[in-house]
A and B are shown apart, each in its own frame.
Chain A
Amino acid sequence: MNAQYDPLQHSFCLISGAELWTFGPLSIYLLNQKCPRDQNVIMSTFRFEYRITFAYLIIGALWIIFSDRAIDAFIGDKDLLTNAQTYKGWFYVLITAVLFFLFLKKHLAQLRRTESELEKHRDKLQELVMEKTKDLDQAVKDLYMKNEVINRQNEELRQALKDLQDTQAQLIQSDKMASLGVLTAGVAHEINNPLNYIAGGVAGLRSVMQECNTQNERTDLFLDSINQGIERISSIVSGLNNFSRNTDKYDEACNINEILEHCLVIIDSQLTNSISVARNFSDKPLVIHGNVGQLHQVFINVLLNALQSIENKGTITITTSAENHAAVVKIGDTGSGIEEENMSKITDPFFTTKAPGEGTGLGLSITYNIVKRHKGSISFKSEPNTGTVVTIELPV
């Protein structure tokens, strides 16, 4: 125990120069050891600071133990021994300093290299990130633009769908009108011809009577009443004909009050006794430029809605007036009215609250389109269970 303890205690005050001769190379070897991992697992698994401390401890300890023994063995003289021990200490310090210097230098060089490499790497990374960011920015911009395009296309599609629906509605309606047109035109022709017989006959009779001096007040009365009948029939037929007339001109002279009268004739069969019609027509004729046939459709649709909204008893009030370069037609009814939530939908094609078979939901969408084509406007004011007023304005 003592034999081991002695040199250790001693080494704390002085380290002899010769000790380095023995352990210097070993320590360098140990510190610089770059063994494959499997051969020097402990050294490589420990970090640098542990390694250097560990190596220093071992080398120092071994040096203290063995250098003193070596000097004791070789040198007998006491003074010489003291001197040798001093040199040994200096030598040790010098060698360890050189070793530390070399080792630290190498290690730091490596560190610095790594650091500069790291820096370079970081710069590169930054550059890369910037580049990627730029790319990303571009990609985001592209995406945004694509999104915009898609949105626009969506909007276009929605519009196209609406147009299609409108066209479909128009086609159905014009199909209805066309067949009605063929029918009424045929009927009109068939009625007008025999009517021409009667009119011609009456005219002939009148001149014969004049020639034979048999004309008097009574014959005039009879002939006049026949003529009145002819006129009445002729105007109804002409109304029918107008309704179904199919031209796309918008510059025909349209006498609004006359057209309304025709429309009332056409829907007359559906006006029961419990529904009365009040006419507040303008005194002066209201004439605008437009399409006679289409305007008939407008008023027929609105009048039909009005009379269909009245369940039992009710009144339809038609008011016409001229207001700053426009003809204004108000068609009011005392019917069921329109629910608030339906107000925005009533001019949509195929929107109907009527039972299947009773309404197609096309009436107002067609009406709206025709009024638009005449550069006019249509508006609705309605109160559920009280009634509705439809106002149509058509510029002259």
Chain B
Amino acid sequence: MKPNVLCVDDEPVNLILFEANLNKKFNIITAHNAECGLDVLARNKDIRVIFSDMKMPGMNGIDFIANAKNISPQGNFYIMTGFEVTDEIQEAIDNKYISMYFKKPLNYMAISSEIERVLGQINT
């Protein structure tokens, strides 16, 4: 069974591409906003890797992760952003809230190897 990875983004095209480019190695679950993402996490306690877009209507990426941490404290969180690093993101990295951030346009190879690295760490 492929490991579960959650991707939260308000743009459908981004979700489709994320899934299409990474589904060979991972089972990608997608959510089109933060609330859906929290729902998915609540139902699937074994999701260890979570990606979230930064700018979304309603809850933004950092707010989503703050809530998601309560549901799955062992999760590894990543931010995807179309902006440069903002102070908010930098602060989240400094506080170890998120492990890393990825700038759009996304480099799926880099994402894939990061997921493998972190899952490898969890399994050992």
Contact = CB atoms under 8 A, between A and B. Distances in A.
Nearest to A246: B87
A204 interface: yes
Nearest to B24: A207
A36 B14 CA distance: 128
Residue in A188, A193, A198, A238 with the greatest tally of chain B CB atoms within 10 Å: A193
Given A191-B82, A192-B82, A196-B82, 9 more contacts: A189-B55, A189-B83, A192-B83, A197-B13, A200-B17, A203-B21, A207-B21, A238-B84, A241-B84
B85 to A, nearest CB: 8
A203 B18 CA distance: 10
26 contacts: A185-B83, A185-B84, A188-B83, A189-B83, A192-B82, A193-B11, A193-B14, A195-B104, A196-B104, A197-B14, A197-B17, A198-B105, A199-B106, A200-B18, A200-B20, A200-B21, A200-B108, A201-B17, A203-B17, A203-B108, A203-B109, A204-B17, A230-B105, A241-B83, A242-B84, A245-B84
Interface of A: 185, 188-193, 195-201, 203-204, 207, 230, 234, 238, 241-242, 245, 247
A241 B82 CA distance: 10
B103 to A, nearest CB: 8
Given A241-B83, A242-B84, A247-B87, A192 B105 contact: yes
Interface residues of B, number: 21
> Interface SS of chain A: helix, strand, loop or mixed?
helix
B105 A196 contact: yes
B105 A234 contact: yes
A193 B82 contact: yes
Contact of B21 (A191, A192, A204): A204
Contacts of B90: 247
Interface string B17-34: 110110010000000000
A196 B14 contact: yes
A196 B106 contact: yes
A198 B24 CA distance: 20
Interface in B29-48: none
Contacts of A185: 83-84
Nearest to A191: B82
B56 to A, nearest CB: 12
A238 B83 CA distance: 8
Nearest to B54: A189
Contacts of A199: 104-107
Closest 8 CB pairs of A and B: A200-B17, A199-B105, A192-B82, A189-B82, A196-B104, A241-B84, A192-B104, A196-B105
Contacts of B11: 193
Contacts of A201: 17
B68 to A, nearest CB: 22
A137 B107 CA distance: 83
Contacts of A188: 82-84
Contacts of B83: 185, 188-189, 192, 241
Nearest to A244: B84
Contacts of B105: 192, 195-196, 198-200, 230, 234
A241 B108 CA distance: 23
B106 A200 contact: yes
A196 B107 CA distance: 9
A59 to B, nearest CB: 120
Nearest to B109: A203
A245 B20 CA distance: 33
Interface in B1-25: 11, 13-14, 17-18, 20-21, 24
Contacts of A204: 17, 20-21
Given A200-B14, A241-B83, A245-B84, A193 B21 contact: no
Contacts of A247: 87, 90
B6 to A, nearest CB: 18
Contacts of B55: 189
